[in-house]
Each structure stands twice: as structure tokens, then as C-alpha cells.
Amino acid sequence: MEKRSVERLVTLEEFIIQAQNRFPGATGELSQLLRDIGLAAKIISREVNKAGITNILGDQGEENIHGESVKKLDVFADHQLISALKRSLITCMVISEENEGIVQLRSHGGKYIVYLDPLDGSSNIDVNVSIGSIFSVYMREPRYDSKVNESDALQPGKRQVAAGYVLYGSSTTLAYTTGLGVSLFTLDPSIGEFILCNRNVQIPEKGTIYSINEGSYNSWEEGLKRYIKYCQEEDPESNRPYSARYIGSMVADIHRTLIKGGIFIYPHSKRYPEGKLRLMYECNPLSFIIEQAGGRASNGEVRIMDIYPDAIHQRTPIYIGSPENVTRVLDFLKEFKEEEFLMS
């Protein structure tokens, strides 16, 4: 009789425990934190999936600290993630897009600092287009004075100990890294578990998709305009013209870039002189994921994760994706900056 092999499914919980067991002496606290985020993600996913029928679509009727209108789901996701992190007493403070100051979870103790974009892609909530959640984790620097303050959270992205995102798309996908590659999980709603689908995702070395809000073309710097024209030029040998794809939810655009390769750009412009996206809870965590998968992320001049932050909500331009594509756009930016300098 033919022997059928039974596929062994690995859940997020099991995977985290296996990973922890490989490090004798690990306290298991980071594992607990990742499990807490996994639980909040399931609750948010459930709410996103039934959003149209439960009166959770639409505006909360307030603006957040960045002057953007807050959606009910933004607030729901923020509360779920913060209360999940509060349960296990290992996080001393949370910094979230939805809160102006730090959210202190413990007055003393608590080893980790967590940054959150609880709901990314808010403008897509009401139209049933993919949205996400992003997290980024740092260790608190040990100090004699055990009180936490904002300056403890101002660390460069290269000091992240874990980061990841959850994408609420046609399925719910969770990606995370602790600096040992990127693991991907898909939520099986019938059993309520995240199931491992790839334990070492690699981004293609080069891709044929560019992703940018082209409506702002007129306010870009010359090097960027030339690069986008280069992407659109006909050259069958290098598979050009490339395809344009722009979802408007960074998590979804980055997830596609991770799987299919290519480049995602949010540059500085006249409207957003510092760029629009936030360094600490959008750009750093997604750069950590992309770099761990073999990609590259820059602000146009330096590596995103080398930037020393001055403020918890600071913005940055970003050029992120397959290494070849990012290197090429940086060459264009440099070339045209030099040209402008010589002509001035």
C-alpha cells in the first residue's frame, strides 16, 4: 500500500519555543513578547475581516498627533496591542503612532521597549484593501535609576532585537525577525493558529516592480525623476519597462517587495520635506526585515538602521527593496546631486 506522508504543521507558538530552546540560558521573555503580539494580531485580524458588518469602519471623529484623521480600527488595534503587551510585565514602555508621548506600562523593571504602528494603511480600511500592523523591539539600556523616560527609546534601528509586521490581506500573514533571518506565518482561521510557511525568506537580488506615489512626481529631486524614467524605458535585456504597483499601505507594498523583489520608495518632496513615513515604527522595522532577507534600505544617503533618532515620531525618506534596485536608485540620486553641485 502507498505510504502517505503526513505534513507536519508548525505553529507560531511552537516555532518560537523551538527557537528559544536553541539558546540555552535564554529567559524566554522575548518569546513571550512575540506570542503576545501574535495574540493581538489574531484579534485585530478577526475585527478587520468582519469590519463591514460590525460598525467598526469609518472615522473615530478625531485627528491623531500628526493631524491625520483617526479611524476606529486604528484605535482598536492600538488598544489590543498595548493591552497584550501589558499582560506579561516584560515591556516597560510602548511608543505608538496613535499616542503623542510614551505609554509607560511599568514604573520599574520591564526589559523591552516596543514601537508600534498599530494599523498601517488607514486610508485603505474603508475600501477593503490590505492593511497591516508593524512592531519594533529594543532592549532598555540598564541604568541605576530604574525610571523609564523617552530618551531610553531613542536608539538607532541597528539595535532592534526583534521586528515584524502583520498583513491583513487576502490571508493574514505575520513576518518577524530576531536577527537570524525572516520567518513567515499564515493565519489558518479555521484553527486560529499562525502556521509557519517559510523559515528563511530571501528577497530576489533584483526585481522588476517599482512602487512609489507618482502623483508627487513634480516635487521630486532630479535624480529620482531620472530613475523612474529609467524604470519606464524599454530595454528587454534588463526586463524594462518595469511594472508600477502602489497599494498605499506600506506593509502590503513591502510584503510584495519581499516576495517578488523590486523597490519601494517614499522620498522627501516639497509637501513632505523630511519624507512622510516614520523612522521608528515604519522604516526601521521594515528595514530590519528586508535586510535580514538580503535586501537594502537607505534614506538616500545613509542606511536607515544607522540613523540616530532625535525624536520618537521623526520621519525619514526611504528607498528599500532588492539590493540591485536600491543601489541603482542611490547611484542616480548621487549623480544628479553632483551635477547640480557642479552647476551651482
Interface residues with ligand AHG (CB under 6 A) are 68, 97, 117, 120-122, 213, 248-250, 276
Residues 6+ apart with CB under 8 A from 326: 263, 295, 296, 297, 298, 319, 320
Q: How far is the CB of 239 from ligand AHG (least distance, A)?
A: 25
Q: How far is the CB of 122 from Mn ion (least distance, A)?
A: 6
- State which residue, 77 or 231, has the beta carbon closest to Mn ion: 77
In the chain, % helix, strand, coil (3-state, to 5) comes to 40, 25, 40
Q: How far is the CB of 277 from ligand AHG (least distance, A)?
A: 6
- State which residue, 31 or 249, has the beta carbon closest to ligand AHG: 249
Beta-bridge partners for 240: 235
CA–CA separation, 70 and 287 (whole Å) = 26
Cell numbers for 53, please give them.
458588518
Q: How far is the CB of 144 from Mn ion (least distance, A)?
A: 36
The listed partner (Mn ion, ligand AHG, none) that binds 248, CB under 5 to 8 Å by sort, is: ligand AHG
Tell how strand 59-63 and strand 69-71 pair up: antiparallel
The listed partner (ligand AHG, Mn ion, none) that binds 214, CB under 5 to 8 Å by sort, is: none
Cell numbers for 32, please give them.
513571550
- State which residue, 296 or 315, has the beta carbon closest to ligand AHG: 315
- State which residue, 15 or 266, has the beta carbon closest to ligand AHG: 266
The listed partner (ligand AHG, Mn ion, none) that binds 72, CB under 5 to 8 Å by sort, is: none
Q: How far is the CB of 236 from ligand AHG (least distance, A)?
A: 30
The listed partner (ligand AHG, Mn ion, none) that binds 224, CB under 5 to 8 Å by sort, is: none
Q: How far is the CB of 331 from Mn ion (least distance, A)?
A: 28
**φ and ψ at residue 184, rounded to 5 degrees:** -120, 135
Q: For residue 69, with 0-12 CB atoms within 10 Å meaning exposed, 13-18 middle and 19 or more buried, which class applies?
A: middle
CB 97 within 8 A of CB 283: no
Beta strands (DSSP E) in 121-216 are: 131-139, 162-168, 172-177, 182-188, 193-198, 209-211
The listed partner (ligand AHG, Mn ion, none) that binds 249, CB under 5 to 8 Å by sort, is: ligand AHG
CA–CA separation, 309 and 96 (whole Å) = 15
- State which residue, 231 or 318, has the beta carbon closest to ligand AHG: 318
Does the N-terminal peptide bond of residue 241 adopt cis geometry, omega within 30 degrees of 0?
yes
CA–CA separation, 151 and 153 (whole Å) = 5
Residue in the shown chain whose Cβ atom is closest to Mn ion: 120
Beta-bridge partners for 103: 94
Contact residues for Mn ion, defined by CB under 5 A:
97, 117, 119-120
The listed partner (Mn ion, ligand AHG, none) that binds 213, CB under 5 to 8 Å by sort, is: ligand AHG
- State which residue, 200 or 213, has the beta carbon closest to ligand AHG: 213
Which DSSP state fits 128? Answer: T
CB 70 within 8 A of CB 99: no
Element (H, E) at 104: strand 103-104
- State which residue, 16 or 247, has the beta carbon closest to ligand AHG: 247
Q: How far is the CB of 120 from ligand AHG (least distance, A)?
A: 4
Q: How far is the CB of 306 from Mn ion (least distance, A)?
A: 22
Cell numbers for 319, please give them.
528607498
- State which residue, 175 or 333, has the beta carbon closest to Mn ion: 175
